[in-house]
A = this chain, B = another copy of it.
Amino acid sequence: MDSLVFKQDRPLDLIAIGRLCIDLNANETQRPMEETKTFTKYVGGSPANIAIGVSRLGMKAGFIGKVSDDQMGRFILQYLKENNIQADNIFTDKTGAVTGLAFTEIKSPTECSILMYRDNVADLKLDPREVSEEYIKQCKTLLVSGTALAKSPSREAVFLALEYARKHDVVVIFDLDYRPYTWESETDTAIYYHLAAEKCDVIIGTREEFDMIEKIRNFGDSDNLATAQRWFSYYAKLVVIKHGGGGSIAYTKDGDQFQCGIFKTNVLKTFGAGDSYASAFIYGLMNRFNVLESMRLGSAAASIVISKHSCSEAMPTLEEIQGFMDTADEVLATAN
């Protein structure tokens, strides 16, 4: 698939736009949160994790977002800068917004849940007037995360960023990252995800996320190929559909199809799998790995992160991924 053209003369490899938040991960695991005592603080949020992930893989990343004007917001800014992420286009809210929180509960590798604080959060207050056309045209790739579409004015900021990206030949990658909280209704979700996805070159999501978009349109078949083809009638050139333990499947506009399995690991929790997959997969695509090799990088990165306590902090380097792939057992994909 050679149709994604990354403009090589741009100073930034990737700009992510959207959610910046704090994960508070229970230190005591294998029990319900009612019985946990202490929490450890990490930077979180899907696009933040992906920016950190690609940065750790050696790419130059920037971010368009908004943080709260308090200790939490300053902690996020500081952590991103320490991870070599350009933070000039991260604004500080002045309206009294807070940083979104995600308290994680790890009862067992298969029973994980998140308690979210998403009221009045700074990240959703990103204003379209803060999205700079000049900044966007300095990058090869724009990474959009679906949660930023959940509310105004962040929603409009994303649509403007998408318009600028298309205008300046920036490759747009959309990680669906659907989180029901903060959305008004499933209908709204389906409508805005569709309007955004129409403008993207690469769309990555779980089968359930694609189903959510398709629901109000009554296709009702969960047919991976049909899903991919519908997006090819807009700008999409590559669609990746993830099936959890069943691996992932990718389709290209020019007719190719790739299936990728997973790597066995000692699972602590499932959080962070999607973000680590996305960052290593994008790294692959932008660094001349082919689609299947990129998927395998993503899959390996995911297996590394789900064996560790955090998401952002656990994002692997290329050496770690390659070392892991050399020794881990690979399981074939069942997704089709």
Instruction: Verify A34–B156 contact, CB threshold 8 A.
Output: no
Answer whether residue A159 sits at the interface, using C-beta atoms and an 8 A cutoff: yes
Answer whether residue A120 sits at the interface, using C-beta atoms and an 8 A cutoff: yes
Instruction: Verify B75–A33 contact, CB threshold 8 A.
Output: yes
* CB closest residue in chain B, given A71: B33
How many protomers of this protein does the assembly include? 4
Q: Which residues of B contact A38 (CB under 8 A)?
A: 27, 38-41
Q: How far is the CA of A216 from the CA of B184 in the complex (A)?
A: 28
* CB closest residue in chain B, given A128: B187
* CB closest residue in chain B, given A113: B71
| Total number of A residues with any Cβ neighbor in B under 8 Å | 42
Instruction: Verify A98–B119 contact, CB threshold 8 A.
Output: yes
Q: How far is the CA of A72 from the CA of B24 in the complex (A)?
A: 13
Q: A40-B38, A71-B32 are in contact. Are A117 and B98 (CB under 8 A)?
A: yes
Answer whether residue A10 sits at the interface, using C-beta atoms and an 8 A cutoff: no
Answer whether residue A78 sits at the interface, using C-beta atoms and an 8 A cutoff: yes
Instruction: Verify A37–B41 contact, CB threshold 8 A.
Output: yes
User: What would 17 more interface pairs be, CB under 8 Å, given A128-B187, A156-B187?
Assistant: A34-B71, A34-B75, A36-B41, A38-B38, A38-B41, A71-B103, A72-B115, A98-B119, A101-B101, A119-B119, A127-B187, A128-B216, A152-B184, A152-B188, A153-B184, A163-B194, A195-B195
Shortest A285–chain B CB gap in Å is 27
Instruction: Verify A40–B37 contact, CB threshold 8 A.
Output: yes
Answer whether residue A70 sits at the interface, using C-beta atoms and an 8 A cutoff: yes
Answer whether residue A191 sits at the interface, using C-beta atoms and an 8 A cutoff: yes
Q: Which residues of B contact A78 (CB under 8 A)?
A: 34
Q: How far is the CA of A128 from the CA of B74 in the complex (A)?
A: 37
Instruction: Verify A156–B191 contact, CB threshold 8 A.
Output: yes
* A100-131 at interface with B (beta carbon < 8 Å): 101, 103, 105, 115, 117, 119-120, 127-129
Q: How far is the CA of A159 from the CA of B192 in the complex (A)?
A: 9
* CB closest residue in chain B, given A196: B195
Shortest A112–chain B CB gap in Å is 13
Q: How far is the CA of A36 from the CA of B71 in the complex (A)?
A: 10
Answer whether residue A160 sits at the interface, using C-beta atoms and an 8 A cutoff: yes
Shortest A234–chain B CB gap in Å is 11
Q: Which residues of B contact A188 (CB under 8 A)?
A: 128, 152-153, 156
Task: Name the residue among A38, A127, A184 with the largest chain B CB count within 10 angstroms.
Answer: A38
* A247-276 at interface with B (beta carbon < 8 Å): none
Shortest A254–chain B CB gap in Å is 24
Q: A38-B40, A38-B41 are in contact. Are A71 and B128 (CB under 8 A)?
A: no
Q: How far is the CA of A152 from the CA of B75 in the complex (A)?
A: 34
